[in-house]
Structure 1
Amino acid sequence: MLRRRMLIMLGVVLLVVLGLGGYKAFSVYQQIQAFTKPKPPVSVGVAMATQQPWQSLLPAIGSLKALQGVDLSLEIAGTVKTLQFESGQKVKAGQLLLQLDNDVEKALLGTAEADQGLAQIEFGRGSQLVDSRAISRGDFDRMAAQLKKASATVAQLNASLAKKRILAPFSGTIGIRQVDVGDYLPSGTMIATLQDISSLYVDFYVPEQVLPKLALGQVVRVNLAAYPKQTFDAKISAINPKVDDTTRNVLVRASLPNPDGNLLPGMFANLQVLLPGENTRVVVPESAITYTLYGNSVYVVEPRKDADGKPEKDDKGEPILTANRRFVDSGERRGGLVVINKGLHAGEQVVSAGQLKLNAGANVAISVDKTLQADQNSPPRVD
């Protein structure tokens, strides 16, 4: 009787152990099946690498400068007697702009001219008398020296009178005047600015590495904050023959016509220098590039191929697409597009949205990338 009970208990324990073992084995089998089962494809947006006309540009920033510009200031002190200009007026070269009080200098000049006249008369008489030896050569030399001294005094006073007035050194537009009639002005006082803005210069710096690509006459596109919807064309007129020791940059100057006078010196300018280079380049959307410390890369969408090199298909007969990572040499970016210098050919498909969900070799399914224009979205391609 006891033996029978022991056999029944042993059988029950054995059944429990077998049941637990079977359940565990079934769980392991399910896990194995889950891991070995192909993962569903990742939905990504794709775009086609295209070959497009591309003008290479060198961006830079600069400022506008007048063809000629100067701050008019006084060389000597004095009281303003007359002002011959209005703020913002166009003036011509040689036009009188300001006259200081010069009554004292005029009176001294009259005295000096009288002395000069007398010295001239005495010198004329002496030149006749010295030939007949009526006067000594020493007396005649003193007469000649006296004439020179009187002439120098006249010239000095004329120079002082000239410094009492300011003439326009060139034709241009004069700025807002800073003085009034009757003001006593110390030397160095600025009265106004004079700018010739019939044509302007655009000065900007470029790295020394691009010097071989620059030449006189090259076109520079200029954009100004004051006129955001307009682009102005300038031409390189001068390249500084010295590289800056601190920044290793080179100063470049471009000439910019300004027939309407709308552009003013001092304006900030965004520039793009048109560089020589290839006319067509392979480009992809900027969103397709993944930037890392190890290099820039893209995910290229390609059909998975079997051992015979034929495209594999799923149970619906559709080609199985995979995303393979490829490192590329990217170049200039503009208008949402990036130039690919090396590593990608025109006609290849690249992932433009959904890269963060991808691993190399992952299966993908094509979806529309709403961030791209309709003509940039491309259907899956099968070779």
Structure 2
Amino acid sequence: MLRRRMLIMLAVVVLIVLMLGGYKAFSIYRQVQMFSAPKPPVSVAATAAVERSWQQRLPAVGSLKALQGVELSLENAGTVKALHFESGQQVKAGQLLLELDSEQETALLGTAQADLGLARVDFGRGSQLVGSQAISRGEYDRLRAQFQRNQAVVDQLKASLAKKSIRAPFSGTIGIRQVDIGDYLASGTVLATLQDISSLYVDFNVPEQALPRLSLGQQAQVEVAAYPDQRFPATLSAINPKVEESTRNLLVRATLANPEGKLLPGMFASLQVLLPDPRPQVVVPESAVTYTLYGNSVYVVARKQAEDGEHEPPLVADRRTVETGERRDGLVVILKGLKPGEQVVTAGQLKLTQGAAIRITPDKTPQPDAHSARRDD
């Protein structure tokens, strides 16, 4: 009886072990089936790499300067008698801008002119008498010297009187007025700024290695923060004949027209110098390139090798290391690793791995305008 009970218990234990083993095997089978099942393709956006003429550019930053610009200031002290300009006014060269009180100088000039008239009469009379030896030669020399001295005094007072007024040295736009009628102004006091902004200079520095690629008349494009969507054409007008020893940079000047007066002196400017000899380059949207410390790469759309019975092999992502060049207007130059016509993934790279199945869908993100990029080149 005892033996029968032991056999029954052993059979129950074996049955339980078999059931547990079968359940474990079934779980393992389901997991294997889950991992071996093909994953659904990842939806990505793609575009073709294109080859087009690419003009290299030399980036730089600088400051805008007026074609002519001065701070109007007084040479002599005095009290403001009259003002003949308003803040922000357009003035012409030679236009009277300010007059100081000059009554004392005017009175002194009148006295000097009277003395000059008398000296002129005495000298004329002496010139007649010295010929008939009615006066000595020494007296004649004294009369001539007196006449010349009085003439010099008149000229000196006229020059001093002229400094009691300020005239525009050139045509331009006058700035905000800093003085009022009745103010006593010391010598050197600034009245306002005068700027000729019909044309502007932009001075910038480039590394000395860039000198062979620069020449007078070369074109450049200038951008300022005030007008971020607008580019202003400029022309290289001067190259400094000396390299700065402390920085090894070369000072370059470009000239640009400013007919609408949008640009002002002192603005910070970023510019691109257009380098000569455009060359064909392979370009892709910048969003297609993944930048890492180990190198840059793109995902290329490729076809999986056809298997038996497959009419059209699925698309897969092939990760490829590339060498990138200049970036501009949402595009990047691919120097090595990509051929024209190959499709690259432009959106959805974060979901991809090497060899992952993909499905191309329309890209809803804004793409660079190739036409505008060509116009810029």
Task: Classify the TM-score, shorter chain.
Answer: 0.7 to 0.9
The corresponding residue for 2:345 is 351
The corresponding residue for 1:93 is 93
* Paired residues for 1:26-41 under 5 Å: 26-41=26-41
Q: 1:286, 1:266 → 2: CA distance?
A: 33
Deviation sequence 1:266-298 (CA, Å, 0-9, x none): 445453332224343211122211111222211
The corresponding residue for 1:333 is 327
1:300 aligns with 2:300: yes
Quote the offset at 1:302 in angstroms: 1.9
Quote the offset at 1:346 in angstroms: 0.7
Identity level (%): 69
Q: 1:85 to 1:23 in 2, by over 3 A?
A: closer
The corresponding residue for 1:56 is 56
The corresponding residue for 2:21 is 21
Q: 1:37, 1:313 → 2: CA distance?
A: 16
Q: 1:82 to 1:138 in 2, by over 3 A?
A: same
Residue 51 of structure 1 aligns to a residue whose secondary structure is strand
Higher mean alpha-carbon deviation, 151-160 vs 331-340, is at 151-160
**TM-score, structure 2 as length reference:** 0.78
Quote the offset at 1:318 in angstroms: 2.3
The corresponding residue for 2:173 is 173
Q: Counterpart amino acid of 1:341?
A: L
Q: 2:62, 2:170 → 1: CA distance?
A: 26
Q: 1:209 to 1:343 in 2, by over 3 A?
A: farther
Contact map agreement 1:220 1:272 (CA 8 A) in 2: yes
Q: Counterpart amino acid of 2:4?
A: R
Residue 104 of structure 1 aligns to a residue whose secondary structure is helix
Quote the offset at 1:147 in angstroms: 7.8
Q: 1:299, 1:193 → 2: CA distance?
A: 58
Contact map agreement 2:330 2:368 (CA 8 A) in 1: no
Q: 1:260, 1:272 → 2: CA distance?
A: 22
Q: 1:40, 1:228 → 2: CA distance?
A: 44
The corresponding residue for 2:375 is none
Quote the offset at 1:125 in angstroms: 11
The corresponding residue for 1:308 is none
Q: How many positions carry a matched residue from both structures?
A: 370
Quote the offset at 1:38 in angstroms: 4.5
Q: 1:86 to 1:41 in 2, by over 3 A?
A: closer
Give the unaligned 5+ runs of structure 2.
Answer: 371-377
Contact map agreement 1:313 1:320 (CA 8 A) in 2: no
Quote the offset at 1:237 in angstroms: 0.9
The corresponding residue for 1:318 is 312
Q: 1:371, 1:295 → 2: CA distance?
A: 25
Q: 1:271, 1:254 → 2: CA distance?
A: 10
Contact map agreement 1:41 1:363 (CA 8 A) in 2: yes
Q: 1:112, 1:347 → 2: CA distance?
A: 91
* Paired residues for 1:1-383 under 5 Å: 1-110=1-110, 153=153, 156-223=156-223, 231-243=231-243, 249-261=249-261, 263-304=263-304, 311-313=305-307, 316-371=310-365
Q: 2:230, 2:291 → 1: CA distance?
A: 33
Q: Counterpart amino acid of 1:370?
A: K
Quote the offset at 1:355 in angstroms: 1.3
Q: 1:91 to 1:45 in 2, by over 3 A?
A: closer
Residue 240 of structure 1 aligns to a residue whose secondary structure is strand
Q: Counterpart amino acid of 2:254?
A: A
Q: 1:92, 1:374 → 2: CA distance?
A: 47
Residue 357 of structure 2 aligns to a residue whose secondary structure is strand
Deviation sequence 1:233-270 (CA, Å, 0-9, x none): 22111233445566665443221223455544344545
**TM-score, structure 1 as length reference:** 0.77
Q: 1:339, 1:52 → 2: CA distance?
A: 10
Q: 1:117 to 1:71 in 2, by over 3 A?
A: same
Q: 2:19, 2:99 → 1: CA distance?
A: 118
Q: 2:288, 2:58 → 1: CA distance?
A: 23
Q: 1:50 to 1:121 in 2, by over 3 A?
A: same
Q: 1:127, 1:120 → 2: CA distance?
A: 10
Residue 255 of structure 2 aligns to a residue whose secondary structure is strand
Contact map agreement 1:205 1:251 (CA 8 A) in 2: yes
Q: 1:247 to 1:322 in 2, by over 3 A?
A: farther
Q: 1:41 to 1:225 in 2, by over 3 A?
A: closer
Superposition RMSD on alpha carbons, in Å? 4.2
Deviation sequence 1:209-228 (CA, Å, 0-9, x none): 54433321122233456666
Q: 1:85 to 1:19 in 2, by over 3 A?
A: closer
Quote the offset at 1:23 in angstroms: 3.3
Give the unaligned 5+ runs of structure 1.
Answer: 305-310, 377-383
Q: 1:195 to 1:6 in 2, by over 3 A?
A: closer
Q: 1:189, 1:261 → 2: CA distance?
A: 28
